[in-house]
Chain A
Amino acid sequence: MILDEVFDVVVIGGGHAGCEAASAAARLGANTALVTINLDLIGQMSCNPAIGGIAKGHLVREIDALGGIMGRVIDRTGIQFRLLNRSRGPAVQSPRAQADRSLYRTEMRAVLEHTPNLQLRQGMVSDLLVSKDRVAGVSMQDGRQIGAKAVIIAAGTFLNGLVHTGRTTYTAGRAGEPASIELAEALKRLGFPVGRLKTGTPPRLDGRTIDWDAFEPQSADEKPVPFSFATDEIQQPQIHCFIGYTSDKLHDAIRRNLNESPLYSGKIKGVGPRYCPSIEDKVVKFAEKDRHQLFLEPEGHNTNEVYLNGFSTSLPAAMQQDLVRMIPGLEEVRIIRPGYAIEYDFVDPRELGPDLQCHRLPGLFHAGQVNGTTGYEEAACQGLIAGVNAALAVEGRESFTLRREESYIGVLIDDLIRQGVDEPYRIFTSRAEHRLALRHDNADERLSRYGREVGLVGDQEWERFQQRRDRIAQVRKALTSERLRASDPAYAAMKNLVGELPESISLAELAKRAGVETRHVQQLLPTTVRFETTQQDLEFALADNLYSGYIKTQEAAISRLNSHDRTPIPSGMNFRVLSGLSHEMIERLERVRPQTFGQARTIPGMTPAALSTLLVSVTAAN
């Protein structure tokens, strides 16, 4: 076979997974190509122009702590930053930012173009090259053959993408872009188990036709919290978003026209996300609600386009205009782009190892929607892990994986490869059993050392991280060593605030009392500490202080659940004779040869049923 070009790593797709994957692989030294259908749409936000949100914001900060790029790009292009859940504890607070859609794209492309070892190539991949049971490259629709030691599929909704509006369907990867059909067929031919999922997007409106006064403005945070640990300050001017509501009249109209919806006529077979229902679903499944909340989200500084968040629909394009006009404040509105639903292929992620490499075809990695996930952040973190591991695999280095107890990324990948998906998978804080320990603001403390070891965190960021760590250590020390005493001038005021106080109390204990705020504690810190540390440093130390006891309780409960971890597995145990174990489970056990039940439990992909069978057998054997 004559190859036109040869790379170490080829990434298929220029979305959020593809960008992180290509950047990471190239920065680890792999000669990398990112191949995409349209170079002008690198980093495109296919759906809402926003990044972050509860748990998703955690993912972005973890990506950043590991040395990924999403956090920096959104920090430079975000036009409305908000820290969600401010009234709740620090573990469940999470940053979210509205992006300028076009700026984000431009910035992402610029970042990639400035990455050494990384080449961009336009074209559609139509097949995978396989040699000696390993992936060997890709072939393109236009006949080019590109050799590669590792290939990452990050094709988003493009694999066999089918757009629905009303009764009309057409193949597309996104509205206006061609679907990737040959590659999807190639995956099936290689024997991958493929399923079908569905997602949807709302219409985009012309901002000049909106009666803005009819909506309630929602402003950005006064002091935006950036995603990246390397960002000092958000420089983009901040805008308002607007909140409105649907009406009874609209609900009736939708119900009357349900037969026009491919969701209800049975045309759409793919499973959609329950947490992101279409407006049709909302009106039918929650018929008792007389109104549903909507957000008007401007798409950027230099455009009139407005995203109608909460109104995802697959009703006929021609009908959408009339329906949207039944929303108070949108009586005169004009739709720029209609909403639509899209069905696409995904590959069962149980095919993957924790490094996101396919067991079936070594050298091939899957990241993003191809694994059944939804969301830019979910895609990006998989891209990062796949990119790192592709580069490590090329060099023959050991793979890089994260554990559930140290990161949301670990939770996400573990969920995917163990349990598979039956609807588009989104991250939630409740998926993390170690939720209190996984805060957005301590992502660097949890993960930066890994990013440094693997080679993604540069000297400057590492220096910055160490300084921050030292400052926090200084605050922590002060919180435990400094005490508020009855003789102190501030004592009376604090006693007034919290009620009973002992004669002397450490600042750490005082901070746990209801009513005591960060600013109170800050005033009580010694001047030198106050001078040398930031408010974020203090908030960080106080969050540790708040959660320390609960984290211990939580860990105890988890270790109780895992109380069989130390049960030994006899060294010569023949897994094949254990009745009830599937062939796949036997293979996994034989590959790892666990010595304890705990080791068996952490083998990726082991099912609970297989584990209980194993446990009963080893308990009987002992």
Chain B
Amino acid sequence: MDTIVAVATPPGRSAIAVLRLSGPQALYITRALVHDDSFTPEPTHVVLKDLKTADDEVMDQALITFFKSPHSFSGEDMVEISCHGSPITVRKLLNRIQQLDARLAGPGEFTLRACRNGKLNLSQAEAIRDLINARTTAAAQQATRQLKGELSNALSGSKQQLIDIIVKMESALEFVEDDLPQLQRTAVLDDLAVVQNTIGRLAATYQTGHLLRDGIKVALVGRPNVGKSSLFNGLLSRDRAIVTELPGTTRDSLTESIAMNGIPVTLTDTAGIREAGDRIEAIGVERTHRAMADADLLVVVIDASSAVQAEDREVLERARISRHVIAFNKSDLPSVIDTNETVNGSKVVHVSAVTGAGLADLSAAILEPFGTVDSESVGLLVTDSRHYDLLVRAVESFDEAASLMKANASEELVLVGLHNALNFLGEITGETTTDEILGRIFSTFCIGK
């Protein structure tokens, strides 16, 4: 096993930068950096040291933390060096470390080593990726839960129950000459239903869970000068988009991310839809159409202080085929609009970008179609589409097995579905080998004619 090094902090200038070393040579390389062959820092204690070039020139003063195998993230000897965050210093240090027999780590290689050394399972490794990429606190919280192995833990009970069922059925097949208890099909069906329900319920949390991870794309659309950009700024709570009283001020789509109730929302302010006056505006409108097609939800902004116009109707007609909310803006002004004509069963919110009234209602209306409850207070959620897919497949496999069981089919047929389900769960929690199942059989039943 060789030793790898990488800069753990984002590129660019910063107060400090962190370099990580992992592998059997980590401590040896650090000794060479500090020019002290007996340097043996106490594990997990921070030490301040001068880092020197081969010619004894000080490159930087840095904090060094040593993690001794196996008590480190990767399971190997690791050293973390917190140096000053100048790109030039970092470059120098990296070059020096590479001369000292470490190589640059490939993407995800620290995590890979942690997996290989049994420090993490696959779903925990995925959680690290999610945690790094998390955009809201709730998403980070879910990733942390998964990192602690909560998804694997939540499944491990069901997996054990499933293995118990498989063990009973396999032994009925394999040890027909042994004096085993008769297989009680109705009892097995009951057990099966319990496992299936647990997994089914977990799969159902994906509806909320995936929003936490992937977020919702929302586009504000409408004819020019209805106040889309004002609403955009209102929802962002800052003046991001330029707002004037001139129609067509927003020429290009503008996108920003915010958290609504813990859910990451990508909000896009679009150019108003109308017959374009010039080439630039035409491109802007074209982009609006694209943003509409791309969005999970459209907020159709209508000026409630003026009568409905043909352009409003056009936008509404386009929006009807998608998930949408109608925001009647300028509720601070006298309402002249005939709301009956426009509403037509759609969800409606009255809002004033100027006073901020109704903005909270609008946020709630945006989240409502996604069936989200308060994401910061709920339990473990499935956030990864791969996990969701596997859980759904497992549930389907249970269905097949249960219906064969009810039809009194022979065990080897029922077992096809059960083994498939176990494999699907195993792709989240780790594989169950035939030897483990056989081992369980031999410890459960007295086999041996």
Contact = CB atoms under 8 A, between A and B. Distances in A.
A132 interface: no
Interface string B387-425: 000000000000010000001111111001001100100
Interface in A582-622: 609, 612-613, 616, 620
B254 interface: no
Interface in B151-179: 170, 173-179
A286 B413 contact: no
Interface-central residue, B116, B174, B179, B419, by most chain A CB under 10 Å: B174
B449 A92 contact: no
A84 B446 contact: no
B277 interface: no
A616 B107 CA distance: 11
Contacts of A53: 177
Given A89-B413, A275-B447, A84 B112 contact: no
A514 B448 CA distance: 33
Given A275-B442, A310-B449, A293 B178 contact: yes
Interface string A76-88: 0000000011011
B116 A89 contact: no
Interface in B1-53: 1-2
Interface string A549-572: 010011001000100000000000
Interface string B169-191: 01001111111000000000000
Contacts of B434: 428, 430-431
Contacts of B179: 292-293
A282 interface: yes
Contact of A85 (B113, B173, B408): B173
Contacts of B438: 275, 428, 430
B410 A89 contact: yes
A554 B448 CA distance: 30
B407 A430 contact: no
A285 interface: yes
B6 to A, nearest CB: 14
A285 B1 contact: no
B446 A92 contact: no
B112 A282 contact: no
Contacts of B439: 274
Given A550-B413, A620-B106, A274 B174 contact: no
B447 A89 contact: no
A91 B412 contact: yes
A365 interface: no
Contact of A620 (B107, B170, B407): B107
Given A54-B173, A54-B174, A285-B446, A553 B420 contact: yes
A557 B423 contact: yes
Contacts of A92: 173, 410-412
Contact of B174 (A277, A430, A436, A561): A430
A277 B442 CA distance: 10
Nearest to A557: B420
Interface in B100-146: 106-107, 112-113, 116
Contacts of B176: 54, 84-85
Nearest to A279: B448
A55 interface: yes
A88 B173 contact: yes
A89 B448 contact: no
A88 B438 CA distance: 20
A84 B177 contact: yes
Interface residues of A, number: 44
Interface string A507-550: 00000001000000000000000000000000000000000001
Nearest to B400: A553
Contacts of B413: 89, 436, 550
Contacts of B116: 580, 609, 612-613
B437 interface: yes
A229 B68 CA distance: 64
Interface in B429-449: 434-435, 437-439, 442-443, 446-449
A429 interface: yes
A58 to B, nearest CB: 12
A452 B412 CA distance: 31
Given A53-B177, A54-B176, A274 B410 contact: no
A302 interface: no
Contacts of B412: 88-89, 91-92, 429, 435-436
- Prevailing SS type, chain A contact patch: mixed
Interface string A49-75: 000011100000000000000000000
B391 to A, nearest CB: 15
Contacts of B423: 557, 561
Interface string A229-245: 00000000000000000
Contact of B1 (A88, A293, A579): A579
A428 B446 contact: no
B255 to A, nearest CB: 31
B174 A293 contact: no
Contacts of A514: 407-408
Interface-central residue, B413, B419, B438, B446, by most chain A CB under 10 Å: B446
Contacts of B177: 53, 84, 295
A310 B448 contact: yes
Contacts of A579: 1-2
A55 B448 contact: no
A220 interface: no
A282 B445 CA distance: 10
B105 to A, nearest CB: 10
Given A514-B408, A561-B423, A292 B173 contact: no
A403 to B, nearest CB: 17
Contact of A293 (B106, B173, B410, B449): B449
A430 B437 contact: yes
B449 A88 contact: no
Contacts of A282: 446, 448
A550 B412 CA distance: 10
A620 B106 CA distance: 8
A309 interface: yes
Given A293-B179, A557-B420, A274 B447 contact: yes
Given A54-B176, A55-B174, A553-B416, A616 B112 contact: yes
B386 to A, nearest CB: 12
Contacts of B411: 88-89, 92
Contacts of A309: 449
Contacts of B2: 579
Given A88-B411, A295-B449, A430-B437, 20 more contacts: A54-B174, A55-B174, A84-B176, A88-B412, A89-B413, A274-B442, A274-B443, A277-B446, A309-B449, A430-B438, A435-B412, A514-B407, A550-B416, A553-B416, A554-B416, A554-B420, A557-B420, A579-B1, A580-B113, A620-B106
22 contacts: A54-B174, A88-B410, A88-B411, A88-B412, A89-B412, A275-B175, A276-B448, A295-B449, A310-B448, A428-B174, A428-B434, A429-B412, A430-B170, A430-B174, A430-B438, A431-B434, A435-B412, A550-B416, A554-B416, A557-B419, A557-B423, A579-B2
10 tightest A-B contacts by CB? A293-B179, A89-B410, A274-B442, A286-B446, A88-B410, A275-B447, A276-B448, A557-B420, A277-B448, A92-B412
